[in-house]
Structure 1
Amino acid sequence: MNRFRANLLLLAVAVIWGSAFVAQAEGMAGVEPLTFTGIRFLLGTAIVSPLAWREWCALSSRGARPLPTDAIGVGLLGVLLMLGAAFQQIGLVSTSVTNAGFLTALYVPLVPLLAWLILRTRPHWSVWPTSIGCLAGTWLLSGAAEVDPVVGDAWVIASSVFWALHVLLVGRIAERMAAPFLVACGQFLVCGVISLIWAAGSETITLAGIHQASLAIVYAGVVSVGIGFTAQVVGQRYAQPADAAIILSAETVFAALFGFLLMNDRLNASGIAGCALILACIIAVQIAPLTPRACE
């Protein structure tokens, strides 16, 4: 696969992930957030499991099976994934698809900030102004005329912290294990199981509700989690890192587009300005490090 085709594949991933926000919002008509998240990720586990089994067999044949410490790392990824997905899903109960898409993308400038705090990796200078710009965009998007942000927006903003931590760690763990599909399957399984256990103690789960939300659950689980993640892994093997980051961040635009077309989402001038500012900062924080050092 050449670079152009890889970029097209990643663009398809961005479309899938953007459209999944609609399915996540529609699914709340039949089930509650944790139930939706649990079933969704267990479906994703089923989709990725054949590829994970193939990797397991290949590792076993080389005598390189994962160590117990690797299992702990995958478990940690699953917990972070669960918190990010669950918080985002809770937020979608009371915020729009457009808001959720753009606010989730706050993880992009958060990743280098958390890398600086946790791993002591010095961030590029562009992180500071773009982080401030994202905060300003969030304020505009959540409603500049209000003292407090929408409750759903606050949940989604909180989810972006867990998404950022997940992005920060997943590459390191997958690289050490040299088994991206095994890592994916393991974290999906942990996420799904914990979500359903939590749902069993805090939500009302009914077969009628699951049936009502079945189409949304299948789309979010099979297409978004299973196919979307798999395509991302394949595409990023051949795409340039900068290309991948910028293209995948376009999910925010597709979330807004699908929200407009399918859910009649509308933004006022403040909201449009907030979306534009967040998107500009997301792109800038990824492009700026590519400029010559003399420009820093």
Structure 2
Amino acid sequence: MSAQNGGGSGKADLLLVAVTLLAGVSWIFSKEAVLLMPPLLFMALRFLLAGLVLALVGWRQLLRLSADQYQRSARVGLVFGLAMSFWIMGLHFGTHVGEGAFLTSLGVVLVPVMARLVFKEKPPASTWVALPVAAAGLALLSLRGGLHAEPGQLFFVAAACIFALYFTLNTRAANSATITGAAGQVTTRDRVPALALTTVVLFTVSLVTGTGSLILEDWPAAFGAFTPVMAGWVIASATVGTAARFFVQTYAQSLSVHSHGVVIMVLEPMWTALFAALWFGETMTAVQVGGCFLIFLSLVVNRWASVRRVLKQWLT
């Protein structure tokens, strides 16, 4: 690795740490919002507002995108919209924000698996060690009160699976790629600029969640009960938890290589659990702590090659 690439990787890591902080705060904003309004409608308004904020800043980039770049960005947004729909329903039905964050983080462990299934990337050996550890943590979280899973837990796990695909697609869209077709033809796909990519993705998520809300939720009742407090949570979530967070995340992923740049986000569930404890006064039972610890351990194992390099640098 060259010094330039090493500097880019270090910058990406720092930016992704900032993303985990913003993500942890976003969980709190979103939970407050879904206590007051329909969850899918909240997501539609949140992502629409966030998309408008970024469009005002990046309209020049949007005008320069090709049809192929718009198509690829919209594809990422469609997958992300589905993931966020499951995620917000998990937050709506879930009884524990911190636990939900660890369940959602399973998507990070599944990134190499999804990259293998969809793009034939070879996953590192650590993935096959991390998966059973993650499964054990998931099992522990399902044992509370007997062997069953709560609706919120199921939504979070489903969201994690779709997030894994989103992370893979987003990294590829944010980086240029050379593709060899079945007939041997070579096509170079230009990277989509981070700001434009994020903007298109956010608008697509708003469309996906808005469509779901229109079908499943009561809009007249929701807007009739709309209050300044609800508006405040939507605005906070749109600006801090969405526009800022996902722009920084997409930009950071554009500095990293392949699908493994996102796994530093293992910090997100830890921040979320901490913020939930401070904000909502949440606590965990010993079984919950054990399950969350195993999931976190699986994230570390999945990123073990990078962890080992960092430890080696510190000790030498």
The TM-score range, normalised by the shorter chain, is 0.7 to 0.9
TM-score relative to the length of structure 1: 0.87
TM-score relative to the length of structure 2: 0.81
Q: 1:210 to 1:167 in 2, by over 3 A?
A: farther
Q: Give the structure 2 partner of residue 270 of structure 1.
A: 287
Structure 2 CA distance for aligned equivalents of residues 124 and 239 of structure 1: 17
Match of 1:54 among 45, 50, 60: 60
Unaligned runs of 5+ in 2: 1-6, 176-189, 310-316
Note the C-alpha offset of 1:245.
3.7
Structure 2 CA distance for aligned equivalents of residues 260 and 249 of structure 1: 18
Note the C-alpha offset of 1:198.
2.1
Report the AA paired with residue 210 of structure 2.
L
1:207 corresponds to 2:223:
yes
1:223 corresponds to 2:222:
no
User: Contact 2:126–2:304 at 8 Å: present in 1 too?
Assistant: no
Q: Describe the superposition over 1:143-165 as per-residue Cα deviations: whole angstroms up to 9, x where unpaired.
A: 35422111100001000111111
Note the C-alpha offset of 1:258.
0.9
Q: Describe the superposition over 1:19-66 as per-residue Cα deviations: whole angstroms up to 9, x where unpaired.
A: 211111111122111101101111110221134313235x4xxxxx41
User: Contact 1:126–1:289 at 8 Å: present in 2 too?
Assistant: no
Structure 1 CA distance for aligned equivalents of residues 162 and 223 of structure 2: 30
Q: Describe the superposition over 1:112-154 as per-residue Cα deviations: whole angstroms up to 9, x where unpaired.
A: 1111122222211111120111111112123354221111000
Structure 2 CA distance for aligned equivalents of residues 99 and 83 of structure 1: 21
Show the 5 A alignment for 1:1-296.
Answer: 7-56=13-62, 59=64, 65-67=65-67, 69-95=68-94, 96-175=96-175, 176-205=190-219, 206-211=222-227, 212-235=229-252, 245-288=262-305
Structure 1 CA distance for aligned equivalents of residues 113 and 48 of structure 2: 31
Q: 1:235 to 1:92 in 2, by over 3 A?
A: same
How much is the aligned-residue C-alpha RMSD, in angstroms?
A: 2.6
Structure 2 CA distance for aligned equivalents of residues 166 and 200 of structure 1: 24
Q: 1:124 to 1:225 in 2, by over 3 A?
A: same
Note the C-alpha offset of 1:238.
6.1
Structure 2 CA distance for aligned equivalents of residues 125 and 238 of structure 1: 24
Structure 2 CA distance for aligned equivalents of residues 179 and 219 of structure 1: 25
SS of the aligned residue for 2:213 comes to helix
Structure 1 CA distance for aligned equivalents of residues 115 and 206 of structure 2: 27
Note the C-alpha offset of 1:177.
3.4
Percent sequence identity over aligned pairs: 23
Report the AA paired with residue 200 of structure 2.
G
Report the AA paired with residue 204 of structure 1.
D
How many aligned positions are there?
Answer: 285
